[in-house]
Structure 1
Amino acid sequence: MSGSLDAHVHLWNRRTDPQPWIDPATMAAIDRDFAPGDLERMLDSTGIQAAVVVQSSNSAAETRRLLAHPSPRIAGVVGWIDLTGDVAAQVDALDPAARARLVGIRHLVHIDPDPGWLSRPEVATGLKGLAARGLGFDLVVRSWQLPSAAAVVSAHPEVRFVVDHLGGIAETGDTAGWEAGLRELAARPNAYAKISGLAGMPRDGDRAGLRRVVGVALEAFGPQRLMYGSDWPLAELGAGAVAWRGAVEELIGQLAVPERQAIWSGTASAFYRIGA
């Protein structure tokens, strides 16, 4: 698609899709529902044309609700299906119009009770099913899970993977371990990454740390395998979506125009096959 694309946002209505992880005391900025109208206002404020909405719970019902949103600013939905089950049957069960808006699948690997979920044989079968349907897989993992993620990515060259939030760097003090894990993942040509989930770093004034982190990602993946994401509304727990957009503009400002365009829209559009 032409124009800029935010590759990672969330919407939720807690009446139908509870978000028990939201702590009203420490997360007051997001202690409410977020609807397509809120998303459109955020996109207007950041100058972004459209967004990819990403699931926030391992729920087929939530995915159906996200797919039903009519907003033209939603370019696609990364939903959830049970990868240990029949992938084709689950995708085929979706309404045809909704199915066309499904651009990828995600499972909350980082909080799954089974620390080895990603390496389960039935998940491997499910990933093959995604490839057959042309769907990519969003990897949401902690930094310590990056080596196992790299092994899975290597075992499935037919699947497109994108690691959310640069592999959880914002949640660890082990920057050396994170960097080694991210570089190992990036060595697989079917692995991509989102520059997202880092809005707390400019809030904390850690521009030098942020520059180092994004510099590692640029060196490891290159602009053609990197995409911008705000992680809104969670970005509001940090500097906010507008400040985060500005920080990324500054961080990639020295790149050539085609490289910046790849990060702002080209990579995500190609990965999620939006407009194809």
Structure 2
Amino acid sequence: MTVIDAHQHVWDPIRAPYDWLGPAMAPIDRAMGFADARPALRAAGVTATVLVQAADNDADTDHMLATAATHPEVVAVVAWVPLDAPGRARTRLAALRRDPHVVGVRALVHEDPDPDRILRPDVGQGLALLAEAGMTFDYVTSSPAALAHVPELAARHPELRLVIDHLGKPPVGGGAAERAAWRRLIAAAARHPGVHAKVSGLYSSSGPLGAWTAEQVRPFVEDALELFGPRRLMYGGDWPVSLLAGGYERTWEACRKLLAPLDPDDRAAVLGGTAARFYRINAGLLDAARDSAV
């Protein structure tokens, strides 16, 4: 089985600005490179990874592409383009698509003071460009409430392949009412067949990130499996943020435990098959990643 970690970051504050990094993020408030992640990835049996943007600037994307060029395990890059500036976005996309690693786009829309930014007409033009170019869109949220936008986005852009990062930040460790509210929102999103989701970043919703257990996460993973099915879900280890939540090994082992009841084909879909298909990962890059893992 080819295991693809569909959500990993690298960053370097010397090469690109990351406004959200700071002392509160210690010990990851520093350059975090692929070489730092490799031991944990190999111990988990991860064959390939998808690098996902961590800042709304070209320098972060350029850093990811430089990492991909020197590490065969990196088979895909989710870049950044200015979705609210369609002219600039079109030009940047044209340049990025020359690199076979580039499969999609993400923007830190959850940090914008306007909670409805993603629905603005200028951003809509940018999303239409992604659909036209065959690029995916990673939708990141800071709370379940932002999931309410997904059905509207899917209706406006039916050709756009959209993936919800971290299952839309469910209330892990919260109460029954909070879970029910999240489930209603994620269920509405899952009714659109082009919408996928990542089983990633499932940390405590309040207090320390590491104050979670696999049993607290279980109901949200079970809901996601019921609503999306394994072939619309993909595993993501969320390194290096996962280091703040108990470490990559803990995240990986919890995911393996929660997926254990699935039959082998369904488990293989969540752990790699869905990501390969959704992101349309280049077959040659996947072969190179498998060769490097031998």
TM-score by length of 2: 0.87
SS at match of 1:7: strand
Q: CA deviation at 1:82?
A: 0.9
Match of 1:248 among 255, 269, 274: 255
Give the distance between the partners of 1:153 and 1:72, measured in 2 at CA: 33
| Counterpart mapping for 1:91-102 below 5 A | 91-94=93-96, 96=98, 99-102=99-102
Cα distance 1:121–1:177, how it changes in 2: closer, same or farther (>3 A)? same
Cα distance 1:43–1:200, how it changes in 2: closer, same or farther (>3 A)? farther
Q: CA deviation at 1:211?
A: 0.7
Give the distance between the partners of 2:151 and 2:161, measured in 1 at CA: 12
- Does the 8 Å CA contact 1:196/1:231 hold for their aligned counterparts? yes
What does residue 7 of structure 2 align with?
8
Give the distance between the partners of 2:41 and 2:195, measured in 1 at CA: 27
What does residue 178 of structure 1 align with?
182
- Does the 8 Å CA contact 2:57/2:80 hold for their aligned counterparts? yes
TM-score by length of 1: 0.92
- Does the 8 Å CA contact 1:8/1:51 hold for their aligned counterparts? yes
Identity value in percent: 38
What does residue 193 of structure 2 align with?
189
> Which amino acid letter does the alignment assign opposite residue 169 of structure 1?
P
- Does the 8 Å CA contact 1:199/1:240 hold for their aligned counterparts? no
What does residue 49 of structure 2 align with?
51
| Counterpart mapping for 1:1-276 below 5 A | 3-24=2-23, 26-69=24-67, 70=69, 71-84=71-84, 85-86=86-87, 87-94=89-96, 96=98, 99-141=99-141, 142-170=143-171, 173=174, 174-200=178-204, 203-276=210-283
> Which amino acid letter does the alignment assign opposite residue 19 of structure 1?
Y
Cα distance 1:171–1:109, how it changes in 2: closer, same or farther (>3 A)? farther
Give the distance between the partners of 2:225 and 2:144, measured in 1 at CA: 17
> Which amino acid letter does the alignment assign opposite residue 91 of structure 2?
A
> Which amino acid letter does the alignment assign opposite residue 76 of structure 2?
G
- Does the 8 Å CA contact 2:96/2:102 hold for their aligned counterparts? no
How many residue pairs get aligned? The number is 272
- Does the 8 Å CA contact 1:223/1:263 hold for their aligned counterparts? yes
- Does the 8 Å CA contact 2:210/2:244 hold for their aligned counterparts? no
Structure 1 moving runs of 4+ over 6 Å: none
The Cα offsets for residues 185-218 of structure 1, whole Å up to 9 and x where unpaired, read as 0111000000000155894353332111111111
Give the distance between the partners of 1:266 and 1:199, measured in 2 at CA: 24
| More deviation, 41-50/223-232 | 41-50
> Which amino acid letter does the alignment assign opposite residue 145 of structure 1?
A
Q: CA deviation at 1:170?
A: 4.7
> Which amino acid letter does the alignment assign opposite residue 109 of structure 1?
V
Cα distance 1:229–1:45, how it changes in 2: closer, same or farther (>3 A)? same
Q: CA deviation at 1:220?
A: 0.8
Give the distance between the partners of 1:29 and 1:67, measured in 2 at CA: 24
